[in-house]
Every structure is written in C-alpha cells, then in structure tokens.
Amino acid sequence: MSLSIDSIRECLDGVIPGLIATCDADGVPNMAYLSQVQFVDREHVALSYQFFNKTRQNVLVNPTVRLLLTSHLTACQYRLSLRYLRTETAGPLFEQMKAKLAGIASHTGMSGVFKLLGSDVYRILAIEQVPGRTLPRATPAVNYLTALRRCSIRLGGCEHLESLLDTAGDCLGSEFGIQHLMLLMYDEAGQRLYTLASRGYPDSGIGSEIPVGAGVIGVCARERTPIRIGYTTAEYAYGRAIRDSAAASGLAASLETAIALPGLPEAASQLAVPITAFGRLLGVLYVESSADLHFGYDDEDALVAFAAQLGMAIDHHRQVAETAEEAAAAEPGSAKPAGKTLGVRHFAANDSIFLDDDYLIKGVAGAILWTLVTDYAERGRTAFSNKELRVDPRIRLPGASDNLEARLVLLRRRLDERGAGISLAKTGRGRFVLRVEQPLQLIAG
C-alpha cells in the first residue's frame, strides 16, 4: 500500500521543520526550511509563503518540488514530490495557517518576522519513506473511534439542551481527557459569540462574549473552520484580541465586558471547532491546554465529528422547545414570598439587569428576564413557554434563527450562579416556571 499523507500528519506541525528543495530555470538547486506544512486533503498540502525568496522564485518557474519531512515521534523521514498549484491569500485555509504560524513564530522567537503572505497549495505526486532506522509508533492515549461512538450514544440520549450541554462537557472530559473547554453560541445579528457552558475554570464565564473574528474562537466562527494553535501567542490571546476586534467592529459599547471570558491565562495549545447544522453556524466548541502541541490533527478530526453531532442535537432541541404544544404546567400556588425585597433594575438602553446593585446580564437574556418579572409583578404570572416568548415584542430576538432555548439556558445559569432567589425551572418541552423566593421591586432604570 502506498503511503498516504493522512498517516504522517504528525510531521506537519513543525516540531522538526520541513525542508523544501527547488530548482531554478537553469537547474540550480535551492533549499530552505519551512515553518509549516498544512494538511489540506489526501491529495493536497499547503506550504506557508512568508517571504519572496529564492524558493518562491523557483516555484514560479519550476513548480515541481521535493519536501523532506521528519516525524518527531517515529524518526521516520519522508520525501514528498509536490507540484505547486495556486496561492490563497484569504479564507479558511489561509486563516488556519496564519493562526498556526503565529504560534510557531512566538515559540521560535520570530514574532513580527514570520508573517503569512499566502498559503501555497500543492498537489501531492508521491510520498516515499526514506530508508533508515525508525522507532515504533506509540499507542495513542485515546482511541478516537471508540470515544466518538460512546459520545454519540450519550449525546443522542439527552432530552433537552441543558442536559445536552452537561453531557457534552462530561463526554469531552471522560472520553477525550479534555480538562479546559468552552461552548459558545453564535449571535448572528450581534456578530458575536456568547459563552453558554465551560469546564475547568475558577469562574464559568457564562454570558461572556467574543466578537466574531477575535482570537482563535472568533476566527473559527468567521471562517467556519477549525483553528488550531500549538504554542502560546500574544497575537491570539483573548484580552487583546477582544479589545482590538471590538474596537474595530464598533461593538465595544454593546459587547458583554462585565463578565470575563474564562480561559487559561497562558494557554499554549488552543483548538476551536465550529458547531454547525445544515450548513448554518450555531456556535463554537473551544478546548485548550497549557501544554505545547497538545492537540494534533487527530484531535481536530475527532472534535469536528463530535461538534457535528452536537450541532444536530442543539438544532433538534431548539426546534422541539419552540414548537412544543404541551399543556401548560399548572401555575404553582400564588403564595407571596416573604422576606427582604430584592430590587430588579432594568436599563432599557442595553437591556441590562441589576439585582440590587449587582450586575446580572444584559442583551437578549436581560430582556427576557425583564419580561418575565414584569408579567409576574403585574399579573402574578409564573408559567411561560418558549413559543410565546419568541413572538413577544418586548424581547426583540435578534433574528428568526436565534436560539431562544440557548438564551434561556444562559439566563437560568446566570441566575443560579448568582443565587439571588430568582430561578427558572423546566416544566416540560418548551415550558418553564419562574420561581421567586423574595418579594421583588421592579425599577426601570
């Protein structure tokens, strides 16, 4: 069986740099180190184009090149015969390589020197293993196929979005050994992502936001493609990326900044995978580690498959919650709560809510809570359905495709974290009740 690029992808991440040999019109050879080789598919790889150097000049006159790759795991060397096809200067492939190069540049002290000008796409003509002694390949710590099988069964058994999110976090921890992760939902109209679940951080950061295009997560969302970095890089660090991107896009005023994005202070390895369903972006799954080169191509493949299943399930639960016609839950007894009054203050400009003087949430989730407590205060109402909330003009959902169920999960989790005596309890598909433990005083700020 001939060698396939699929089976030697550990050579591509630059642990041992590749060597590209070219020759000019007169047949004079030239050789250079390559920062990065990107797997495209079984027949193509892309090489980073950073400088207009002799390699570049030669490739343009003689597109056939030889690439020498070395596995840091098995010590195997491979000689690839390639033919240059084209250069891409924007889009998913370019962004994948740009992010990865930023990590490599930072790791090798070349920040500010390495800059991706283009992704040169080559057709693989042949792969030959160079004769020589090699090391046996270590058994991988995770059998991805078995892990995915178990995850699929567990995700498929979830009854609603909230249990799906919990199960997804459990699966990534127990099946893939991932300790630090975030799950963010896409707000298309707001061109941002909001954190709906996280694992492995002192503060959950639920409700925190990232503009589309900011950092690994934002670029993943913008390009609808996995973004993976193996080394710490300031260029994709979140604090800076969010500030720069929010300022550039004019989002700075409306972006949620009171809730800090969770995350490792010095993440070395980062991987963001888009969550999609039927061609639509729903969110991003983000995992990270403080170890260098923690996630490889196999991890990326496994999480892309996992995210595909997660996306279908999220979409299913959204539809079910919004179309459910189950009988309304009986309104609980209207016994008025006693005790100290809790002030609920609402600022209409950005739908921000403060409980007493403590900030809770703003935006869509803030508008939902204000609607619920207003109905409760005015009519003693406690039972609600997703279906009616979706069309309630007071909530102003940003778009027909916006996931109301996800907004409710966000609100529920923020309320639970706050422990302020207001909670939302599911009573059936697409139905829930508002529980209030203290008298409320509504204040329109």
Partner 1 sequence: MLDRDSAAFIQTGVAISLAACGADRMPNNARALGCKLVDGQQRVAIFMRLSQTHALVANIRENGLVAAVFSLPSSNRTLQLKGSDAQVVDFDHADLMLIERHTEAFLREVLPEGISELAVRTIHDWSPDDMLTVVFTPSAAFSQTPGPRAGQPLGSRP
User: Which residues of this chain interact with partner 1, rule CB under 8 A?
Assistant: 15-16, 19, 21-23, 27-33, 50-51, 53-54, 62, 64-66, 68, 70-75, 77, 79, 81, 108-110, 113-114, 130-135, 292
CA 209 to CA 325: how far, in whole Å? 33
Residues 285/271, Cβ–Cβ less than 8 Å: no
The sheet with strand 18-23 has its strands ordered as 29-34, 18-23, 64-70, 77-88, 118-129, 44-49, 37-41
Which token pair is 20? Answer: 């590209």
Output 112 or 393, the one with its CB closest to partner 1.
Answer: 112
Q: How far is the CB of 8 from partner 1 (least distance, A)?
A: 15
Output 75 or 258, the one with its CB closest to partner 1.
Answer: 75
Residues 10/18, Cβ–Cβ less than 8 Å: no
Which residue in this structure is represented by tokens 């240059």?
84
Output 62 or 163, the one with its CB closest to partner 1.
Answer: 62
Output 230 or 430, the one with its CB closest to partner 1.
Answer: 230
Q: How far is the CB of 132 from partner 1 (least distance, A)?
A: 6
Q: How far is the CB of 59 from partner 1 (least distance, A)?
A: 11
CA 53 to CA 38: how far, in whole Å? 20
Locate the DSSP E strands across 205-268: 209-211, 227-229
Phi, psi torsion values for 439, nearest 5 degrees: -65, 140
Residues 200/223, Cβ–Cβ less than 8 Å: no
Q: How far is the CB of 111 from partner 1 (least distance, A)?
A: 11
CA atoms within 13 A on the CB side of 440: 26
CA 380 to CA 382: how far, in whole Å? 7
Output 22 or 371, the one with its CB closest to partner 1.
Answer: 22
Degrees (nearest 5) of the Cα angle 352, 440, 373? Answer: 55
Residues 120/87, Cβ–Cβ less than 8 Å: yes
Which token pair is 91? Answer: 């889009």
Kindly give, in sequence order, each residue whose CB lies less than 8 Å from that of residue 205, ignoring residues fewer than 6 positions away.
Answer: 182, 195, 198, 259, 260, 261, 262, 263
Q: How far is the CB of 27 from partner 1 (least distance, A)?
A: 5
Q: How far is the CB of 124 from partner 1 (least distance, A)?
A: 14
Which residue in this structure is represented by tokens 């459910």?
324
Q: How far is the CB of 300 from partner 1 (least distance, A)?
A: 21
Output 15 or 308, the one with its CB closest to partner 1.
Answer: 15
Output 113 or 425, the one with its CB closest to partner 1.
Answer: 113
The DSSP secondary-structure symbol of 32 reads E
Q: How far is the CB of 60 from partner 1 (least distance, A)?
A: 13
Output 31 or 85, the one with its CB closest to partner 1.
Answer: 31
Output 79 or 381, the one with its CB closest to partner 1.
Answer: 79
Q: Which of 205, 239, 206, 209 is nearest to 221 (CA)?
A: 209
Output 3 or 15, the one with its CB closest to partner 1.
Answer: 15
Instruction: Kindly report the number of other CB atoms within 10 A of residue 37's CB atom.
Output: 25
CA 113 to CA 62: how far, in whole Å? 27
Phi-psi region of 17 (alpha: psi -120 to 50; beta: other; left: phi over 0): beta
Q: How far is the CB of 14 from partner 1 (least distance, A)?
A: 11
SS3 for 141? coil
Q: How far is the CB of 105 from partner 1 (least distance, A)?
A: 9
Output 138 or 253, the one with its CB closest to partner 1.
Answer: 138
Q: How far is the CB of 80 from partner 1 (least distance, A)?
A: 11
